[in-house]
């Protein structure tokens, strides 16, 4: 009798946990306003991205030709990155579905993994091409200023993360 009661109690606890986590979980592909690549989204972060971009243009002293080239490159990178991200997400979902099947087709799994590796490489190549294009568009002084701004932004983000996580970075906490 006690064994049946314990099983029922554990089953109820597991069911409550599962249902509560499913209730609070947001859909995988749902986007938060102001994040990501949705239309109308600012592309991530907080505040008005347009103002920050204008401020950066002034600090770097961009010419109108440089502005136009950087804008075109940014749009091209963004479009390609959206496409690759969606393909990558679809392949990851396909891999997940394949791994959940009762009969596992290892050849298909490894083919999907190869596709994921190829798409990840394409995303990296796209990012590097954007940097190369920026470097060829900007003067060495402008590029150095941009790198310094990016380093400051990363350091600020790391400081905020450390403040949120405690004094030490996560990998130090055990």
Q: How do residues 108-129 score in pLDDT, each as one tens digit?
A: 999 999 999 999 999 999 999 9
Cβ-contact 137, 66 below 8 angstroms: yes
Domain assignment present for residue 13? The answer is: no
SS3 helix, strand, coil % of the chain, rounded to 5?
75, 0, 25
Residue 170 pLDDT: 55
Maximum alpha-carbon separation in the chain: 82
In a domain, 152, yes or no: yes
Rounded Cα–Cα distance for residues 159 and 88 (Å): 31
CA distance 76 to 70: 10
Question: What's the pLDDT score for residue 12?
Answer: 64
Residue 116 placed within a domain: yes
Identify the segments of the chain with pLDDT beneath 50. 23, 26, 28-44, 46, 174
The predicted structure's pLDDT at residue 138: 92
56 part of a folded domain = no
Residue 42 within a domain = no
Q: For position 82, which CATH number holds?
A: 1.20.120.1490
Question: What pLDDT is recorded for position 32?
Answer: 47
Number of domains in the chain: 1
Q: Is residue 30 part of a domain?
A: no
Neighbouring CB atoms inside 10 A of 47's CB total: 9
Looking at the domain assignment, is residue 94 inside a domain?
Answer: yes
Where in the sequence is the domain holding 86, given as residue range(s)? 65-166
Task: Please check whether residue 48 is in contact with residue 42, taking contact to mean a CB–CB distance below 8 angstroms.
Answer: yes
Residue 165 has what pLDDT? 66
* CA triple 90-116-131, angle to 5 deg: 105
Residue 54: inside a domain: no
């Amino acid at each position: 009798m006690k064994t049946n009661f314990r099983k029922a109690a554990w089953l109820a606890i597991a069911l409550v946990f599962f249902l509560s986590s499913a209730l609070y979980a947001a859909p995988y592909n749902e986007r938060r306003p102001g994040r990501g690549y949705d239309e109308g989204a600012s592309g991530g972060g907080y505040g008005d991205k347009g103002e920050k971009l204008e401020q950066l243009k002034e600090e770097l002293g961009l010419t109108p030709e440089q502005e136009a080239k950087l804008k075109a490159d940014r749009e091209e990178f963004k479009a390609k990155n959206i496409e690759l991200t969606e393909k990558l997400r679809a392949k990851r979902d396909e891999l997940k579905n394949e791994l959940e099947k009762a009969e596992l087709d290892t050849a298909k799994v490894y083919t999907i993994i190869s596709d994921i590796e190829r798409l990840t490489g394409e995303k990296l190549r796209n990012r590097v091409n954007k940097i190369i294009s920026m470097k060829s568009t900007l003067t060495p002084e402008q590029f150095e200023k941009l790198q310094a701004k990016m380093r400051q932004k990363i350091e600020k983000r790391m400081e905020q993360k450390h403040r949120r996580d405690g004094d030490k970075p996560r990998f130090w906490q055990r």
